[in-house]
Amino acid sequence: MNLKPATLSKIAEVIPHYPTKRSATLPLLHLVQEDLGFISPEAIEWVAAKLELQPINVYEVVTFYPMFRQKPIGRRHIKVCRTLSCALLGGYKTCAAFEQEFNTSTGIGEISPDGEVTIEFVECLASCGTAPVVMIDDELHEKVDGAKAKALSAEIKRAAAQRR
């Protein structure tokens, strides 16, 4: 396990927030995933050992919660809201626009051919008043119609081109 020193110090800080170590399972998984990009079998064992649990106790958590993933994703993570308020104002069109821009589908964990993005059609993001909404990594984008989806995609592609 090659966790960054900053991650290790955050892990050390968070465990004593709880009277039982097991409570730190979700926080540790978040920290590990932020650091490594996904949660590997090795990471599950490492977290289990750290919290004095059986690996199954951690594995069952990883498999339940939608935000934890066991495979790497694209460089950027695009989450389009699928639920009713967004759908009523075109959420499905927004999702299709992103899929078209990056030539990929919202199949679970699929990475676009250029490696730049993984698009996910997720359930309610709790910003129904500004539908349709999209989260790109940690940033919320509001009222994302087809045109705005294209503009956001162009930004991601521009950043990718600059990096190459």
Partner 1 sequence: MSAPAQRRIIFQHIDEPGYSNDLACYVKHGGYAVLKKAVTMKPEAIVDEVKQSGLRGRGGAGFPCGFKWTLLDKKSGKPIYLVVNADESEPGTFKDRYILHQDPHQLIEGIMITCFANNVKQAYIYIRGEFPHGARILEQAIAEARAANFCGPNLLGTSYSCEIYVHRGAGAYICGEETGLIESLEGKRPYPRIKPPYFPAVLGLYQCPTIVNNVETLCHVKYILDVGGDAYAKIGTPNNTGTRILCVSGHVQKPGYYEYEVGQITLGQLLNEVCGGPLPGRKFKAVIPGGSSAKVLKFGETFTLKNKDGTSRTLTVEDLPMDFDTLAACGTMGGSGGVIVMDDSTDMVAALANLNAFYAHESCGQCTPCREGSLWMKKITTRMVHDHARVEDGALLKNVADQIAGRTICAFGEACSWPTQSFIAKFGDEFKAYPETKKTAPPAGALELV
Count, residues near partner 1 per rule CB under 8 A? 45
Alpha-carbon gap, residue 143 to 86, rounded angstroms: 9
Binding mask 123-162 for partner 1 (x = CB under 8 A): xxxxxxxxx---x--x-x----------------------
Nearer to partner 1, 60 or 154 (CB): 60
Nearer to partner 1, 24 or 117 (CB): 24
Alpha-carbon gap, residue 111 to 100, rounded angstroms: 13
Residues 77-96 that bind partner 1 (CB under 8 A): 79, 82-85, 87-90, 92-93
Kindly state the smallest distance separating residue 76's Cβ from partner 1, in Å. Answer: 15
65 binds partner 1 (CB under 8 A): yes
Residue 14 is classified by DSSP as H
159, two tokens = 């950043």
35, two tokens = 């650091």
User: How far apart, in Å, are the Cα atoms of 59 and each of 28, 40, 118, 141?
Assistant: 13, 10, 23, 32
39 binds partner 1 (CB under 8 A): no
Kindly state the smallest distance separating residue 24's Cβ from partner 1, in Å. Answer: 7
40 binds partner 1 (CB under 8 A): no
Does residue 118 contact residue 78 with C-beta atoms inside 8 Å? yes
